Amino acid sequence: MAKQRLSKQDWLTAALTALAEGGVGAVAVEPLAHRLGVTRGSFYWHFADRNALLREALEWWEAQGTEAVIERVDGIAEPRQRLRALFRIAITEDPTNGLEPALVAHADDPVVAPALHRVTRRRTAFLAEVYAELGLPAPQARYQAACAYAAYVGWMQLRRATPTALPEIADDPDALTHFVEHLVLAIPDTTPP
């Protein structure tokens, strides 16, 4: 039923799945081999060691989960529509659900840290550009980008961790709309009375 011979990509996708489910510690050669129906002999032909698998898996995620999405929405002329499309894609089409919390939990890992750093910078920079295009001055645009990205990250996190405790976050389209509009509409004046 399963493939007899595995490719490198098979191991990468399996690693990303395990990473999203059980964190960095779950990216272990023996359990993955067991799940793939082979022995560890297969792994050590494709990869040098466990860290190599982790590094390559993160590089693949970095490309698919960031650059690909940005390219898809970069052609939308109207900034607000561009933001809406971006958030909706990022939230609803996430192929590796729950991967980001797993990475953040091991942000001190020497393999995880660089990938996380690059992705965060790339995404917040893109957001800040759009908010600036909407008329916010540069510092405000960066603040707003940080807020929006934090909200996105937290949303993904809660949806994965506690879907039953927060039912509207899982499958309520109205809640999603509320959330997206909350991110799109930047608040101009924030000085408390």
Partner DNA sequence: GGTTTTCCGTACAGTACCGTACGGAAGGTG
Partner DNA sequence: CACCTTCCGTACGGTACTGTACGGAAAACC
Residues at the contact surface with a copy of itself, assessed by CB under 8 A: 21-25, 84, 101-108, 116-118, 120-121, 124, 139-140, 142-144, 146-147, 149-155, 157-158, 160-162, 164-166, 168-169, 174-175, 177-179, 181-182, 185, 187, 190, 192
Q: At what angle do helices 79-92 and 112-133 cross, to 10 degrees?
A: 150
> What's the min distance (Å) between Cβ of 103 and DNA?
17
The one of a copy of itself, DNA, none whose footprint includes residue 135, by CB under 5 to 8 A per kind, is none
| DSSP of 94-108 | -SSTTHHHHHHHTTT
155 HSE (CA, 13 A, CB side): 25
By beta-carbon proximity to a copy of itself, the closer residue of 4 and 164 is: 164
Q: How many residues does the chain have?
A: 193
> What's the min distance (Å) between Cβ of 66 and DNA?
27
Single-letter code of the amino acid located at 71 = E
| DSSP of 26-74 | G--HHHHHHHHTS-HHHHHHH-SSHHHHHHHHHHHHHIIIIIHHHHHHT
DSSP conformational letter for 65 = I
The one of a copy of itself, DNA, none whose footprint includes residue 160, by CB under 5 to 8 A per kind, is a copy of itself
Q: Which two tokens stand for residue 40?
A: 């560890």
Residue 6 binds to DNA (criterion: CB under 7 A): yes
Residues with Cβ within 8 Å of 192's Cβ and at least 6 positions away in sequence, in order, are: none
By beta-carbon proximity to a copy of itself, the closer residue of 59 and 101 is: 101
Positions in 22-51 near DNA (CB under 7 A)? 27-31, 33, 37-42, 44-46, 48-51
Positions in 145-164 near DNA (CB under 7 A)? none
For DNA, the binding residues (CB under 7 A) are 4-7, 27-31, 33, 37-42, 44-46, 48-51
